[in-house]
Structure 1
Amino acid sequence: MGNEAILHFFCGKMAAGKSTRAKRLAEEVGGVLLVEDELLSQLYPEEIVDLATYVKYSQRLKGAIANHIRALLAAGMPVVLDFPGNTLNQRKWFKELFESVGVPHRLHYLEVSDEVCKRQLRERSKGKVEGAAFTSDVEFDAITKYFQPPTDEEGFHIVRYEARS
Protein backbone atom coordinates (compact mmCIF):
# COMPACT_ATOMS: atom_id res chain seq x y z
CA MET A 1 0.00 0.00 0.00
CA GLY A 2 1.18 3.49 -0.72
CA ASN A 3 1.00 6.45 1.58
CA GLU A 4 -2.45 7.96 1.42
CA ALA A 5 -4.47 9.74 4.03
CA ILE A 6 -6.66 7.17 5.73
CA LEU A 7 -7.66 6.69 9.33
CA HIS A 8 -7.31 3.17 10.69
CA PHE A 9 -8.79 2.28 14.08
CA PHE A 10 -9.74 -0.84 15.99
CA CYS A 11 -12.52 -2.65 17.77
CA GLY A 12 -12.08 -5.81 19.82
CA LYS A 13 -12.28 -7.03 23.36
CA MET A 14 -9.42 -6.54 25.80
CA ALA A 15 -6.42 -8.70 24.77
CA ALA A 16 -7.92 -9.54 21.36
CA GLY A 17 -4.69 -8.50 19.63
CA LYS A 18 -5.52 -4.94 18.60
CA SER A 19 -2.12 -3.48 19.51
CA THR A 20 -0.19 -6.19 17.69
CA ARG A 21 -2.30 -5.72 14.58
CA ALA A 22 -2.06 -1.90 14.82
CA LYS A 23 1.72 -1.99 14.94
CA ARG A 24 1.91 -4.36 11.97
CA LEU A 25 -0.59 -2.27 9.99
CA ALA A 26 1.29 0.98 10.64
CA GLU A 27 4.43 -0.64 9.22
CA GLU A 28 2.53 -1.97 6.19
CA VAL A 29 0.93 1.35 5.27
CA GLY A 30 3.84 3.58 6.32
CA GLY A 31 1.54 5.34 8.75
CA VAL A 32 1.86 7.25 11.96
CA LEU A 33 0.98 4.98 14.88
CA LEU A 34 -0.49 6.54 18.03
CA VAL A 35 -0.94 4.20 20.98
CA GLU A 36 -3.35 5.27 23.71
CA ASP A 37 -1.83 3.01 26.40
CA GLU A 38 1.67 4.43 25.82
CA LEU A 39 0.48 8.03 25.83
CA LEU A 40 -1.66 7.58 28.94
CA SER A 41 1.15 5.86 30.84
CA GLN A 42 3.52 8.74 30.02
CA LEU A 43 1.05 11.50 30.81
CA TYR A 44 -0.65 9.95 33.84
CA PRO A 45 1.76 7.44 35.37
CA GLU A 46 0.19 5.40 38.17
CA GLU A 47 -2.98 7.53 38.08
CA ILE A 48 -5.16 5.16 36.07
CA VAL A 49 -6.26 2.63 38.64
CA ASP A 50 -9.81 1.80 37.55
CA LEU A 51 -12.25 2.18 34.69
CA ALA A 52 -13.46 5.60 35.85
CA THR A 53 -9.98 7.16 35.83
CA TYR A 54 -9.22 5.51 32.50
CA VAL A 55 -12.32 7.10 30.95
CA LYS A 56 -11.45 10.49 32.43
CA TYR A 57 -7.87 10.54 31.18
CA SER A 58 -8.72 8.93 27.84
CA GLN A 59 -11.16 11.77 27.12
CA ARG A 60 -8.52 14.35 28.02
CA LEU A 61 -6.01 12.70 25.73
CA LYS A 62 -8.44 12.52 22.83
CA GLY A 63 -9.25 16.21 23.21
CA ALA A 64 -5.58 17.09 23.28
CA ILE A 65 -4.53 15.17 20.17
CA ALA A 66 -7.59 15.40 17.90
CA ASN A 67 -6.32 18.44 15.98
CA HIS A 68 -2.89 16.83 15.59
CA ILE A 69 -4.51 13.73 14.07
CA ARG A 70 -6.57 15.90 11.74
CA ALA A 71 -3.43 17.75 10.65
CA LEU A 72 -1.62 14.49 9.88
CA LEU A 73 -4.57 13.27 7.81
CA ALA A 74 -4.92 16.63 6.03
CA ALA A 75 -1.21 16.44 5.16
CA GLY A 76 -1.83 13.10 3.44
CA MET A 77 -0.47 10.78 6.12
CA PRO A 78 -2.08 7.46 6.96
CA VAL A 79 -2.83 7.36 10.70
CA VAL A 80 -3.22 4.18 12.73
CA LEU A 81 -4.88 4.73 16.09
CA ASP A 82 -4.38 2.02 18.68
CA PHE A 83 -7.26 3.39 20.71
CA PRO A 84 -10.30 1.26 21.51
CA GLY A 85 -13.40 1.65 19.42
CA ASN A 86 -15.32 -0.82 21.55
CA THR A 87 -18.50 1.15 22.21
CA LEU A 88 -20.78 3.29 20.09
CA ASN A 89 -19.59 6.37 21.97
CA GLN A 90 -15.91 5.58 21.43
CA ARG A 91 -16.50 5.06 17.71
CA LYS A 92 -18.19 8.47 17.40
CA TRP A 93 -14.82 10.13 18.11
CA PHE A 94 -13.16 8.31 15.21
CA LYS A 95 -16.04 9.20 12.90
CA GLU A 96 -15.74 12.89 13.85
CA LEU A 97 -12.03 12.77 13.02
CA PHE A 98 -12.21 11.28 9.54
CA GLU A 99 -15.40 13.11 8.54
CA SER A 100 -14.00 16.48 9.60
CA VAL A 101 -11.04 16.03 7.26
CA GLY A 102 -12.90 14.16 4.52
CA VAL A 103 -10.60 11.14 4.37
CA PRO A 104 -11.40 7.44 4.10
CA HIS A 105 -11.23 5.12 7.07
CA ARG A 106 -11.07 1.47 8.07
CA LEU A 107 -12.48 0.02 11.27
CA HIS A 108 -10.48 -3.14 11.97
CA TYR A 109 -12.69 -5.46 14.00
CA LEU A 110 -11.06 -8.39 15.77
CA GLU A 111 -13.72 -10.99 16.51
CA VAL A 112 -12.16 -13.01 19.32
CA SER A 113 -13.85 -15.21 21.89
CA ASP A 114 -13.71 -14.41 25.59
CA GLU A 115 -11.76 -17.62 26.15
CA VAL A 116 -9.01 -16.65 23.70
CA CYS A 117 -8.88 -13.08 25.03
CA LYS A 118 -8.53 -14.27 28.63
CA ARG A 119 -5.76 -16.67 27.65
CA GLN A 120 -3.93 -13.87 25.83
CA LEU A 121 -4.53 -11.52 28.76
CA ARG A 122 -2.95 -13.98 31.18
CA GLU A 123 0.00 -14.40 28.83
CA ARG A 124 0.65 -10.68 28.41
CA SER A 125 0.21 -10.10 32.15
CA LYS A 126 3.05 -12.44 33.07
CA GLY A 127 5.79 -10.46 34.75
CA LYS A 128 3.53 -7.58 35.74
CA VAL A 129 3.33 -6.82 39.42
CA GLU A 130 0.57 -8.53 41.37
CA GLY A 131 -2.54 -6.36 41.37
CA ALA A 132 -1.59 -4.37 38.24
CA ALA A 133 -4.64 -2.82 36.63
CA PHE A 134 -6.47 -4.50 33.76
CA THR A 135 -4.72 -7.86 33.99
CA SER A 136 -7.25 -10.23 35.56
CA ASP A 137 -10.18 -12.27 34.30
CA VAL A 138 -12.41 -10.33 36.71
CA GLU A 139 -11.34 -7.02 35.14
CA PHE A 140 -11.77 -8.50 31.68
CA ASP A 141 -15.36 -9.46 32.52
CA ALA A 142 -16.07 -6.04 34.05
CA ILE A 143 -14.82 -4.19 30.98
CA THR A 144 -16.24 -6.60 28.42
CA LYS A 145 -19.78 -6.05 29.66
CA TYR A 146 -19.58 -2.62 27.95
CA PHE A 147 -18.34 -4.05 24.62
CA GLN A 148 -20.55 -3.30 21.61
CA PRO A 149 -19.58 -4.92 18.32
CA PRO A 150 -19.77 -2.59 15.33
CA THR A 151 -22.84 -2.80 13.14
CA ASP A 152 -23.32 -2.06 9.47
CA GLU A 153 -25.84 0.61 10.46
CA GLU A 154 -23.02 2.72 11.95
CA GLY A 155 -21.72 3.28 8.41
CA PHE A 156 -18.09 2.22 8.89
CA HIS A 157 -15.90 0.41 6.39
CA ILE A 158 -15.26 -2.66 8.54
CA VAL A 159 -12.35 -5.04 8.03
CA ARG A 160 -13.10 -8.21 10.02
CA TYR A 161 -10.56 -10.59 11.51
CA GLU A 162 -11.56 -13.84 13.17
CA ALA A 163 -9.39 -15.27 15.91
CA ARG A 164 -7.35 -18.36 15.54
CA SER A 165 -7.75 -20.47 18.66
Structure 2
Amino acid sequence: MCGKMGAGKSTFAKSLAMSCEAALLSEDDLLRDLYPGEVIDLASYATLSGRIKNALAGHICVLLRRGVSVVLDFPGNTVAQRSWFRQLIDRAGSHHQLHYLSVPNEICKQQLRERRATNAHDPLQDDATFDALLAYFAPPTPEEQFVVILHERT
Protein backbone atom coordinates (compact mmCIF):
# COMPACT_ATOMS: atom_id res chain seq x y z
CA MET A 1 0.00 0.00 0.00
CA CYS A 2 1.16 3.50 -0.79
CA GLY A 3 -0.72 6.62 0.17
CA LYS A 4 -0.45 9.50 2.57
CA MET A 5 -1.49 9.11 6.16
CA GLY A 6 -5.29 9.14 6.25
CA ALA A 7 -5.70 8.20 2.59
CA GLY A 8 -7.68 5.06 3.44
CA LYS A 9 -5.02 2.39 2.98
CA SER A 10 -6.24 0.17 5.83
CA THR A 11 -9.87 0.34 4.72
CA PHE A 12 -8.83 -0.48 1.18
CA ALA A 13 -6.53 -3.32 2.34
CA LYS A 14 -9.35 -4.97 4.28
CA SER A 15 -11.66 -4.76 1.29
CA LEU A 16 -8.98 -6.08 -1.08
CA ALA A 17 -8.14 -9.02 1.20
CA MET A 18 -11.80 -9.99 1.46
CA SER A 19 -12.42 -9.73 -2.28
CA CYS A 20 -9.31 -11.81 -3.09
CA GLU A 21 -9.65 -14.22 -0.17
CA ALA A 22 -6.11 -13.21 0.80
CA ALA A 23 -4.34 -13.23 4.12
CA LEU A 24 -4.29 -9.71 5.58
CA LEU A 25 -1.37 -8.54 7.70
CA SER A 26 -1.92 -5.13 9.29
CA GLU A 27 0.98 -3.23 10.78
CA ASP A 28 -1.39 -1.11 12.87
CA ASP A 29 -3.04 -4.21 14.36
CA LEU A 30 0.30 -5.86 15.07
CA LEU A 31 1.71 -2.73 16.71
CA ARG A 32 -1.40 -2.35 18.85
CA ASP A 33 -1.46 -6.02 19.90
CA LEU A 34 2.26 -6.63 20.39
CA TYR A 35 3.28 -3.23 21.76
CA PRO A 36 0.20 -1.72 23.47
CA GLY A 37 0.80 1.89 24.41
CA GLU A 38 4.43 1.83 23.25
CA VAL A 39 4.03 3.74 19.99
CA ILE A 40 4.22 7.26 21.39
CA ASP A 41 6.18 9.08 18.70
CA LEU A 42 7.69 8.54 15.26
CA ALA A 43 10.94 7.13 16.70
CA SER A 44 9.15 4.43 18.68
CA TYR A 45 7.01 3.65 15.64
CA ALA A 46 10.10 3.19 13.45
CA THR A 47 11.78 0.90 15.98
CA LEU A 48 8.75 -1.29 16.63
CA SER A 49 7.72 -1.41 12.97
CA GLY A 50 11.22 -2.61 12.11
CA ARG A 51 10.95 -5.42 14.64
CA ILE A 52 7.66 -6.57 13.16
CA LYS A 53 9.01 -6.49 9.62
CA ASN A 54 12.08 -8.50 10.62
CA ALA A 55 9.93 -11.08 12.40
CA LEU A 56 7.42 -11.47 9.57
CA ALA A 57 9.60 -11.35 6.46
CA GLY A 58 10.43 -15.07 6.35
CA HIS A 59 6.85 -16.10 7.10
CA ILE A 60 5.46 -13.82 4.40
CA CYS A 61 7.88 -15.27 1.85
CA VAL A 62 6.85 -18.82 2.75
CA LEU A 63 3.18 -17.93 2.27
CA LEU A 64 3.89 -16.31 -1.09
CA ARG A 65 5.98 -19.25 -2.30
CA ARG A 66 3.09 -21.57 -1.39
CA GLY A 67 0.69 -19.53 -3.50
CA VAL A 68 -1.12 -17.76 -0.68
CA SER A 69 -2.12 -14.22 -1.62
CA VAL A 70 -1.05 -11.76 1.05
CA VAL A 71 -2.27 -8.19 1.46
CA LEU A 72 0.27 -6.18 3.40
CA ASP A 73 -1.35 -3.25 5.16
CA PHE A 74 2.05 -1.68 5.79
CA PRO A 75 2.89 1.78 4.48
CA GLY A 76 5.00 2.00 1.37
CA ASN A 77 5.19 5.77 1.44
CA THR A 78 8.93 6.20 1.05
CA VAL A 79 11.52 4.54 -1.13
CA ALA A 80 13.01 2.96 2.01
CA GLN A 81 9.66 1.49 3.07
CA ARG A 82 9.04 0.14 -0.40
CA SER A 83 12.48 -1.45 -0.46
CA TRP A 84 11.16 -3.91 2.19
CA PHE A 85 8.33 -4.83 -0.20
CA ARG A 86 10.85 -5.25 -3.02
CA GLN A 87 12.99 -7.55 -0.84
CA LEU A 88 9.96 -9.74 -0.08
CA ILE A 89 8.91 -9.88 -3.73
CA ASP A 90 12.41 -10.78 -4.92
CA ARG A 91 13.03 -13.30 -2.11
CA ALA A 92 9.70 -15.05 -2.68
CA GLY A 93 9.79 -14.75 -6.48
CA SER A 94 6.16 -13.67 -6.39
CA HIS A 95 3.88 -11.51 -8.45
CA HIS A 96 2.74 -8.30 -6.81
CA GLN A 97 0.66 -5.15 -7.00
CA LEU A 98 1.46 -1.90 -5.24
CA HIS A 99 -1.82 -0.08 -4.66
CA TYR A 100 -1.24 3.67 -4.63
CA LEU A 101 -4.07 5.71 -3.11
CA SER A 102 -3.62 9.25 -4.40
CA VAL A 103 -5.78 11.43 -2.15
CA PRO A 104 -5.62 15.21 -1.65
CA ASN A 105 -4.13 16.42 1.65
CA GLU A 106 -7.34 18.00 2.92
CA ILE A 107 -9.32 14.80 2.44
CA CYS A 108 -6.59 12.85 4.28
CA LYS A 109 -6.67 15.34 7.16
CA GLN A 110 -10.46 15.18 7.35
CA GLN A 111 -10.35 11.38 7.45
CA LEU A 112 -7.72 11.58 10.22
CA ARG A 113 -10.02 13.85 12.25
CA GLU A 114 -12.87 11.37 11.80
CA ARG A 115 -10.61 8.48 12.82
CA ARG A 116 -9.38 10.40 15.87
CA ALA A 117 -12.99 11.01 16.96
CA THR A 118 -13.60 7.27 17.17
CA ASN A 119 -10.07 6.13 18.09
CA ALA A 120 -8.71 8.75 20.47
CA HIS A 121 -5.98 6.54 21.97
CA ASP A 122 -3.63 6.86 18.96
CA PRO A 123 -1.31 9.82 19.60
CA LEU A 124 -0.03 9.99 16.02
CA GLN A 125 -3.33 10.66 14.24
CA ASP A 126 -3.14 14.45 14.07
CA ASP A 127 -2.43 17.21 11.59
CA ALA A 128 1.07 17.84 12.98
CA THR A 129 2.10 14.22 12.40
CA PHE A 130 0.50 14.29 8.95
CA ASP A 131 2.49 17.41 8.05
CA ALA A 132 5.72 15.93 9.43
CA LEU A 133 5.29 12.69 7.47
CA LEU A 134 4.24 14.51 4.31
CA ALA A 135 7.80 15.82 4.00
CA TYR A 136 8.99 12.21 3.54
CA PHE A 137 6.20 10.98 1.25
CA ALA A 138 7.39 9.90 -2.20
CA PRO A 139 5.07 8.34 -4.78
CA PRO A 140 6.39 5.21 -6.47
CA THR A 141 8.56 5.71 -9.53
CA PRO A 142 9.06 3.51 -12.60
CA GLU A 143 12.68 2.89 -11.52
CA GLU A 144 11.39 0.94 -8.49
CA GLN A 145 9.79 -1.57 -10.89
CA PHE A 146 6.51 -2.08 -9.04
CA VAL A 147 3.27 -3.00 -10.71
CA VAL A 148 1.41 0.10 -9.54
CA ILE A 149 -2.37 0.19 -9.38
CA LEU A 150 -3.40 3.84 -9.04
CA HIS A 151 -6.54 4.76 -7.12
CA GLU A 152 -7.15 8.51 -7.47
CA ARG A 153 -9.57 10.46 -5.36
CA THR A 154 -10.27 14.11 -5.97
- TM bucket, shorter chain: over 0.9
Moved more, 121-130 or 58-67: 121-130
Match of 2:11 among 20, 31, 37: 20
Q: Give distance in 2, aligned partners of 1:128 and 1:107.
A: 27
1:126 corresponds, among 111, 117, 122, to 117
The one-character-per-residue Cα deviations of 1:35-76 (angstroms, maximum 9, x if unpaired) are 000001111111110001000000000000111101111111
Runs (5+) with no aligned partner, structure 2: none
Is structure 2 residue 146 aligned with structure 1 residue 156? yes
1:116 to 69, 90, 107: 107
SS for the counterpart of 1:84 is: coil
The aligned counterpart of 1:4 is none
* Deviation >2 Å, runs of 4+: 127-130
2:39 is matched with: 48
> 1:153 offset after TM fit, Å?
1.4
More off after superposition, 133-142 vs 54-63: 133-142
Distance in 1 separating the partners of 2:76 and 2:138: 9
User: Alignment RMSD, CA only?
Assistant: 1.1
**Could you tell me which residue of structure 2 aligns to residue 60 of structure 1?**
51
Distance 1:79 1:129 in 2: 29
CA distance in 1, matches of 2:63, 2:39: 28
Asked if residue 142 in structure 1 is aligned to residue 132 in structure 2, the reply is yes
TM-score by length of 1: 0.90
Q: Could you report, residue by residue, the CA deviation over 1:15-47 in whole angstroms, capped at 9, with x for unpaired residues?
A: 101001100110111100000000011111111
Rounded to whole Å, the distance in 2 between the matches of 1:157 and 1:43 is: 31
SS in 1 for 2:6: coil
- Which structure carries more helix by proportion? 2
Number of residue pairs matched by the alignment: 154
Q: Which moved more, 1:92-101 or 1:132-141?
A: 132-141
Percent of aligned positions with the same letter in both sequences?
Answer: 51
Rounded Cα–Cα distance in structure 1 between residues aligned with 2:76 and 2:137: 9
The residue identity in structure 1 corresponding to 2:103 is V
Q: TM-score, normalised by structure 2?
A: 0.96
Q: Distance in 2 between matches of 1:161 and 1:119?
A: 18
Q: Which amino acid aligns with 2:151?
A: Y
Deviation at 1:11, TM superposition (A): 0.2
